[in-house]
Amino acid sequence: MNNPIISFKNFGFQYRAQKRPTLYDINLDIYPGERILIAGPSGSGKSTIGNCLNGLIPFSYTGECTGSLTVDGVNAPKSSIFEMSRHVGTVLQDPDGQFIGLTVAEDIAFALENDCVPQDEMHETVRKVAQMVDITERMEYAPHELSGGQKQRVSLGGVMVDQVRILLFDEPLANLDPATGKQAIELIDDIQSRTDTTVVIIEHRLEDVLWKNVDRIVLVSEGRIAADLKPDELLSSHLLTEHGIREPLYLTALKYAGVEITPEKRPAHVDTVVLDEKDRRRVRDWFTSAPPAAPKPERPVLLEVKNVTFGYNPEIVTLKDISFQIREGEMLSIVGRNGAGKSTMSKLICGFEPLTQGKVYFKGKDVTNDTIRERAAHIGYVMQNPNQMISKTMIFDEVALGIRNMGLSEAEIREKVESVLKICGLYPFRNWPVSALSFGQKKRVTIASVLVMGPELIILDEPTAGQDFRHYTEIMEFLRSLNDQGVTVVMITHDMHLMLEYTPRALVFNNGRLVCDEASSVVLCNPDLVREAALKETSLFTLANRCGITPPEAFVDRFIDADREVRDNGR
């Protein structure tokens, strides 16, 4: 067997500012040409492992290393970031944080310019790399003009000009729509097959990464390696759920149906999992064992958008003739590819942008010409990144900010704020600084600062982006509890699991048009719509087809109901 290209031996690391180590006794060998997925819950240490590989630890994030780490023959902790960049190319979670050049060509050429490569050689190398990552048609574009998937291709090209032997991807799917995420995994697969590069992917969206094969999954928990197994072996165990990682939905469905999952069944992908006739019959029997849920009574219309057309400038129309209704007490998703018009629609509902054409009604009243402040009394908006909304140092002051100008007494303000903090599970921290909170807790602070205004409708942009399964569940169960208390919840999301699990209905946008307003299960069981709107078919759809169940959306609904019951009983 070849010598490992990456070798951790009894490796540990403790950040200078922390009392305890983040990594303990890591022993891990990765061999040339392997594709390794490093998974684990937030705070497990998986990103720290990645930062040790590319030299950010200990040179940017200082601390004490113990044991040894060899990367492509280099003693990594004793090297430098510059030296490590010759061996490890890193593609960040947010490509925008990686761009240097004013155009795609300049960005790819940046490392070559630093090395004073002759121009003719530089142009040839950039051309070859751009061809490899399929971005040749966008060479003169500015990076900010590209789609999410194109940005990732440029980032990949920028690190490949050095002909690195190791590619490190840090949560490559976090900011991509479902179809683009799928393309990103296909791109990684294609690049590796052509270059035999060693690939390390850090990601908690397991099912999406396993769209293409990986050699091993390294499961990290509390700073230690909990498992280092082939995908079929890991997915046949209970280790994922024990460590707070969501297993693929089709596997959960098979388990609910009483199908035993073993490595011999090749469970790493829904297309390859081996199902005999007995297994398929068990799935069909499970599907028919519960009657369909009774339809819920229709509630009054809360918000109506009627014939809305909008463009940020007169020449370009961003939204075209959009009409839909949202009913009181609903929980629904707005989905579609990046740039489809989802966020623009939410800005128009909140009054952040003036309408070009059309009307917005709230409880039957025309609010088209209402100010942002007037609409904020009924409609709340929570941004994806809580740090972009927070302006006060202390939690209480942040939540109280919006009602300070309402003419309330200090006692009334305190009563309102403390009431909302209790709803949001933040009351014990009311006198804490915001900086002391986790990302998920900060998210709750921003939601609290909106809820204190008393809105009947709350719109959230990517509420679970970048969250592991545990934090995702905490946030979504919290939003579900708000919905149970009568708050109508609308979520802009790329997360198809969220859409299925929590929102019975979805509005699908594509190229500035509303192309579908349907049940979420119906949306993700429509291959044509999935392709058109850059979504991703649920693996439950594939499983239903393999087991001969029709209509597949009924099987999806059966699974969602069963999964909800299991989770509610497990609380």
pLDDT along the chain (571 residues), means of 10: 90 90 96 95 88 92 94 94 89 74 88 85 87 84 77 80 86 75 84 88 88 94 96 95 90 96 95 94 95 83 96 86 96 89 92 92 95 91 86 94 89 93 87 81 88 92 78 84 92 90 95 95 94 90 95 94 83 57
Q: Residue 501: which of 571, 568, 447 has the closest Cα?
A: 568
Segment holding 362, helix H or strand E: strand 357-362
Token readout for 380 is 């709340």
Contact 75, 11 (CB under 8 A): no
Q: Which residues pair with 491 in a beta bridge?
A: 333, 460
Gap between the Cα atoms of 537 and 250, Å rounded: 12
Nearest to 195 by CA among 157, 151, 154, 139: 157
pLDDT score recorded for residue 473:
83
In three-state secondary structure terms, 484 is helix
496-518 pLDDT tens trace:
888 999 999 999 999 999 999 99
Tokens 């980032």 label which residue? Answer: 155
pLDDT tens, 354-392?
A: 888 999 999 999 999 999 989 988 999 998 778 888 999
Lookup result for tokens 């629609």: 345
Q: Calculate helix-pair angle for 104-114, 148-160, nearest 10 degrees.
A: 20
Q: Are 406 and 374 in contact (CB under 8 A)?
A: no
pTM of the model: 0.83
pLDDT at res. 365? 96
